[in-house]
Structure formats: structure tokens, C-alpha cells
Structure 1
Amino acid sequence: MRVAIRVDASSEIGIGHVMRCLTLADALHRNGATVRFISRVMPAHMVQMMQERKHEFRLLPKRQNDDGIREFAHSHWLDVNQHVDASDTMEALGDHVWDWVVIDHYAIGAAWEKVARIKNSRVLVIDDLADRMHDCDVILDQNYYVNAQSRYDLLVPDNCFKALGPSYALLREEFYETAKTEAERDGLIRKILVGFGGSDPTNETAKVLQALEAPDFYKFQIDVIIGSVNQHKNSLFDRYAENSRINFHENATNVASLMSQADLSIGAGGAMNWERCFLGLPAIVIVVAENQAETSEALHQAGIVLNLGRHHEVSENMIARAVRNLDSDQVAMHCFSERSKNLMLPDGLAITNLKVLSTILDRS
């Protein structure tokens, strides 16, 4: 089986899209599939990661978007219109027949997907927004919404398979292995994990670390996950170079282990939500992108995370107050942990990747 994946990554787009596609690609590769990534913009270290995992990669040519068309809220992510991008992608796939084309891109919709369906067999779309029409065989949205089961009713074909909700989250194999041996959490805070994705353009990491400089937090050890494309990383490294409480992990490959060792996480409301929930790690969430707002608030209302709101509304004092409140409430910490795990594991351990993978294979 041959599977093509159209995805981009940059400081604006972030790396979350490509990371979840890599998770899917790895699972497919283990089952004998050949996977090719197609991108117009992709950091070099991400390309290296793909190739180290035995996936193919093709870079689309740079072009100027001269028609001024902005079909979607994120159309500027593509740099060209959908028709040009679809044509370039099909050319990059012209050496083989592809069983599936996977698309994880907010600037791509039904017009692009129609081209892929003409040229190839099946289309799987990974989305979070439900803000545009799709022409696909499978729609995958791993987010938690009150109206999750109806969000795409008018946006996809009637015969489209809807893989919706956190039980379809794309989690790396390390999370399943870690969950098998993870000890039950006791609700006490000794170690805090801070992580705001690969780029963290608004430097929420600095805000959180400053909040944790208060003397009553000296008892905490702090692990910080930081990406190589984070433009603030060097100033953070310099500022905390002599602080033995704080350990930075650049381009961490052991995120599951770091989460398992932590007692509380402070981070963004994107894909890391599902990683934290899977391991029952209580979380203080700060929304760093608009597409995180609705699902973060839904998780907050369900008592699964503590959502402080949009990043520009969150102060150091708010973060410090939230940490103090949780540090003094062992019962609340335990409840966050249990509700998180129950959200992700309604049917037992290690179901998520298998659900997505079996859906693709069964419909080939």
C-alpha cells in the first residue's frame, strides 16, 4: 500500500500537524506501507526525522500567489491557491499510483481534494476546525467538543467515515508503552512539565517560568520541552543556565517519559492535550491559537483540564495562583487525572492508533 501525506510546518503553522502525521506514517510503515510526505515548507530537522523513519519526502516548488484569493481563514498558509498546490502535489506523486492521500492542512478543502480523488483511490482529511467543505472518504478530528458528532454533518459526503473525538487521537507508540507501566498518581506536585509546542511564538514558556520563580515554588523541579524552531530558546537557556531546578529538553524524543515523571503540566491546548490525558497528567492550559479555544474550554467545563484562557489574557500572577491552588488540593489533582484517563480510554488501553489504522486498511 502507498500513502501520500500533504502537510506543512513552519514557525506560524507549528509542528503539531506534521508530528501527528508522522505518528500515522510510522504506524502505516510498521504494517508494510510506503509513505511519502509532500510539503511546500518544512524545517530541515523535520525532513531528517521523516527520512530517519524510512519515509519518503518531496518538497514542492516555491511559487507566488498572484490571484489574491483567500478562500479560508488560513489560506495564507499555502502561499498559492488550492488548484496550483493540488497540481504540484499530483506531479510530485506522478511516479506511482497511491492508495491513500492524507491531508492535514487548514488551507486545503474540497477543491484540492477532488483533484486527489480523481488521481488516486481514497482521501483522508485530518482537521480540527470544521470550517470548510471536504471531499473525502474519512475525516479525522481528534478534538473534544460538546457537538463533536455533528460538526461535520454538512461539510463531508454522506458516505464519509467520521473518526471523531479523543479516542481517535494520533499518539506515538511511546505513550502506549509508558501507560502500561505508569504508577497511579497520588495528587502531590513535585515536578512540573512545561511545554508550548515546537515554536511558541508568543513565548509563553518564559511567562510560565517567571511565574514559577516565586520562593514558594522552589520545591518544584521543572522540565521544559522546547523546539529547535523556538526563536526565544537561546535567551531562555541563558537566563536559567545556573538554575538547577530547571531542565530544558530540546526536540525531546522522550515526551511520554517526561509526562509520566511529571505531576502537573502547564502548556498549550493543542495535540499535547491528548498526550497528557492519555497518561492522566493534570494540566493547566493556556490557549495559544484560536483553534485551541473551543476544545480547551470544553475540557475545562468537563473538569478534565484547568483552562486559564487565551495567552494574551493570562498573566504570571494567574499562573502562579493556579499552581498554588492545585498544590493545596490533592483531591482536585486526583480528579483531573482520573477524568483525563477516562476520556481517552473508554474501551481500554491502546485503542486510538489501532482505530485509525484499521479504518484506513479496512476501506482500502
Structure 2
Amino acid sequence: MIYIRTDMNDIIATGHVMRCLAIAEAARAQGEDIMFLLADPQACSLLDKHGFPYTILHTCWDDMDSELPIIGKVIEEQRIEKILVDSYQVTPNYLNALTQMVKTLYIDDLNAFEYPVNALVCYANYGKTFYQNRNYQRTNLFLGTQYVPLRRNFERCGKKQINPSAENLILLSGGTDKYNMLECLLESIEIKKYKDIQVICGVYYPKYDYICGKYSGHQNIHVYKAVQDIEKHMEHADLAVAAGGTTLYELCALGVPTIAYAIADNQLDNVKTFHKDGIIDYAGDVREENVVGKINSLLNLYYGNCKLRQQKSEKMQGLVDGKGAWRIAEILSQM
């Protein structure tokens, strides 16, 4: 049995749970039983849809030290042997205490401190050089994009077909769109230029009904919320604009040329490395600059430049093979 400790809500959005779901699905396909451990019921409906059981700890998601007595009791009662932890709220004390009780694997992209765990995964494009100044003699490190935890739908994707013009656009902003990027982009782009514009809203996006109403008269704009088949929407697109989370790696697997922007500190290394490596263009940090103008300039650059989009697409698919979740599940099984 593999246990997974993670959370989602309107503050931290859905990213942690979604990548854990990808790993859980891979582990289930390998014959493992899975149990999620949650602070509260926020993720229950999503886990129900995917058929995964869970235990609610009834704790504070942002005060994990205080849950140690409770999770310790659950570990004893359910005879837990190993836990995957995916949360930015962990502390050295929490992970150290947990690792004294069970075998631990932690998913990281912050390098906030030296994590006292048995195994550490950093799947970011900068992962292989991220921990050079840390002393991880007792921790097994699994670093690099071969460990990007994507659902099996992103595995073995065929070569992306690049059309002469980027007439099909997809806009993605993560779980909450805290900085209102979807609306800003729709207000600024040349809508009539595109045959189809897909707007993908996260589960916690507060303006879904408003956006649907505002653009209901545009036959080429289609607004979706909390889609379960995101890969189909991405496959249809010639070009994407997306925030700098795991979504970028999904777009890489499918080879969809992408323009990225950052909305959080933990995305900065990610988007900047993509840009430096010539894989995904970075338009800027929405918290510090007006990135919409830069995005529009890049959209115009990409629109009719088939060769440029072909080059980017090939680099993207060369980086991510979609098998990362399977590899992490194997690591957990062998712990």
C-alpha cells in the first residue's frame, strides 16, 4: 500500500493533487493499492471521480507540524510503511518526524531546506543542478524531466502536426487565475484572427460565468472549467499561452508551441530555464510587469512562422516522454 499526503484548496490550487493523481494512477496500473491522506475534504470529489480512497485527518493544511500526533496515530492504526509527501507547507521538523516513522518520498521544486527524507524527486528542467550545495548522502535523489509526473494520456504522444498558421489557440492559467490573466488576454488579443480560442479555467476560477457571458457572442471562443481531458484540448491547439507550472510539461509532451508567464516564485526557475534553453518563450512575471503586450508580440511572431513552431515543438517533445509518473511509482514500490 502506498500512501500519499497532499492537499488542494483555493489558495494553493490543484497542482499538488493533480501530479499525485498521475503517480497514483501509474502505481495502481502496477498493481499497488493507494490511499490519500488529506487535511480536509477539499480534494474528496476529485479523488472520488478517479476512484481513490482517502483518509481525512481534520487538520490545518498550512500547519503540518500540528498534525504530527494525528498522522502518527493513523500510521500506527493503518500500519503505514511508506508515504509520498507533496506540499509546500512541510517543515524540517515535520519531515524528520515522519521519516522516523515511515519511509518517505518528497516531491520538491523549491529547495527550501535540506529535506530529511529517504527519497527526493525534483522533476524540473533545472533539477539536476538544483541541489549542488546540499549534502544528501542519506537521501536518494531522482532529478530531471524524466520524472515529470504526467497522466498516461501524455505518454507515447505522436509527433505534433504543425499547421501553416497558428489558427487554434489555447489559454491556460492554472487553478485560480489569481491575476486575472485569462480576461486580460481575451481583452487584448486579436480575437477575429483565430479560428478557435479555447479558454481553460481551473476549478477555483471565480469568473467563469462572467467570462462565458461576456464572450458568448463570439463563435470562436470556447470556455471550459476543470476539464478532465485536458490533453484533447491541448492536442487541438496550434499555440498555447500558459502559466509556468506542470502544465508546461504537459504541453511539452504533446509538442504544442507555448508562450509562458510566471505567477509565483516557484515558477521562475522553471520558465527562465525553458527560455534559456530555447524551448518555451518567457513573457515575464505578472506580479512585476505588464506581460500581456509581450505575449501579444510573441503571438504575432508565432502565428505565421511555421518553421519556428516546428523547431520549438521538436525541442519540447525531446524533453518530456510522459513516463515520469510511472518511474516515480516504481521508486515507491521498491522503497
Helix, strand or coil at the partner of 1:94: helix
Give the CA RMSD over aligned residues.
2.0
Separation in 1, partners of 2:250, 2:172: 12
**Displacement of 1:295:** 1.3
Q: Determine if the alignment matches structure 1 residue 191 to structure 2 residue 168.
A: yes
1:231 paired residue number: 206
1:267 paired residue number: 242
Paired residues of 2:169 and 2:194 also in contact (CA < 8 A): no
After TM superposition, list the pairs within 5 Å mapping 1:16-35 onto structure 2: 16-35=15-34
**Closer, same or farther: CA 269–79 of 1 in aligned 2, 3 Å:** closer
Q: TM-score, normalised by structure 2?
A: 0.93
After TM superposition, list the pairs within 5 Å mapping 1:311-322 onto structure 2: 311-312=286-287, 313-322=289-298
Separation in 1, partners of 2:280, 2:38: 34
Helix, strand or coil at the partner of 2:222: strand
Paired residues of 2:148 and 2:324 also in contact (CA < 8 A): yes
**Closer, same or farther: CA 335–126 of 1 in aligned 2, 3 Å:** same
**Displacement of 1:244:** 1.0
Q: Partner letter of residue 49 of structure 1?
A: L
**Displacement of 1:324:** 0.7
After TM superposition, list the pairs within 5 Å mapping 1:33-112 onto structure 2: 33-43=32-42, 46-62=43-59, 78-80=61-63, 82-112=64-94
2:331 paired residue number: 359
**Displacement of 1:57:** 1.6
**Displacement of 1:184:** 2.9
From 144, 147, 157, give the equivalent of 2:125.
144
**Displacement of 1:3:** 1.4
Tell me how many residue pairs correspond in the alignment. 334
Q: Partner letter of residue 267 of structure 2?
A: Q
Separation in 2, partners of 1:92, 1:187: 57
Separation in 1, partners of 2:164, 2:277: 19
Q: Determine if the alignment matches structure 1 residue 289 to structure 2 residue 270.
A: no
Q: Partner letter of residue 330 of structure 1?
A: C
Separation in 1, partners of 2:82, 2:104: 6
Helix, strand or coil at the partner of 1:19: helix
Q: Partner letter of residue 361 of structure 1?
A: S
**Displacement of 1:156:** 6.0
**Displacement of 1:59:** 2.2
For residues 191-226 of structure 1, what are the alpha-carbon distances to aligned partners after superposition, in whole Å with 9 as ceiling and x for unaligned? 0111111211111111111122x36x4333111111
Q: Determine if the alignment matches structure 1 residue 176 to structure 2 residue 144.
A: no
Q: Partner letter of residue 15 of structure 1?
A: T
**Displacement of 1:354:** 2.8
Separation in 1, partners of 2:325, 2:84: 15
Separation in 2, partners of 1:26, 1:278: 18
Separation in 2, partners of 1:261, 1:144: 25
For residues 283-334 of structure 1, what are the alpha-carbon distances to aligned partners after superposition, in whole Å with 9 as ceiling and x for unaligned? 0101111110111011001110010010131343322221111113222111
Moved over 4 A (4+): 153-156
Q: Partner letter of residue 111 of structure 2?
A: A
From 108, 128, 132, give the equivalent of 2:109.
128
Separation in 1, partners of 2:251, 2:41: 26
Q: Partner letter of residue 154 of structure 2?
A: F
